[in-house]
Amino acid sequence: RTAYEDLRLSQRTMLQQERLSALGQMASGIAHDINNAISPVALYVESLLQKDSELSPRARQYLPVVLRAIDDVAATVARMREFYRPRDAQITLLPVQLNDMVEQVLELTRARWSDMPQQRGAVIEIVRELAADLPQVPGIEGELREALTNLIFNAVDAMPEGGTLSLRTRLSSEAEPRVCVEVTDTGIGMDEETRRRCLEPFFTTKGERGTGLGLAMVYGMVQCHSAALEIDSKPGRGTTLRLSFAVTSATA
Q: What confidence tier does 33 reach under pLDDT thresholds 50, 70, 90?
A: low
Cα-based distances in Å from 130 to 1, 8, 100: 44, 39, 10
| Average pLDDT taken over every residue of the chain | 82
Q: Of 218, 228, 245, whose CA–CA distance to 83 is shortest?
A: 218
Segment 178-189, tens digit of pLDDT:
999 999 999 999
- 203 pLDDT more than 90: no
Segment 53-107, tens digit of pLDDT:
888 988 888 898 888 888 877 776 666 555 545 555 556 788 999 999 999 999 9
- 169 pLDDT more than 50: yes
* Side chain identity at residue 64, one-letter code: P
CA distance 141 to 64: 16
Half-sphere exposure of 44 (CA within 13 A, CB side): 7
Q: What confidence tier does 142 reach under pLDDT thresholds 50, 70, 90?
A: confident
CB-CB contact of 77 with 30 (8 Å): yes
The predicted model scores a pTM of 0.69
Q: What confidence tier does 5 reach under pLDDT thresholds 50, 70, 90?
A: confident
CA distance 248 to 252: 6
Beta bridge partners of 231: 241
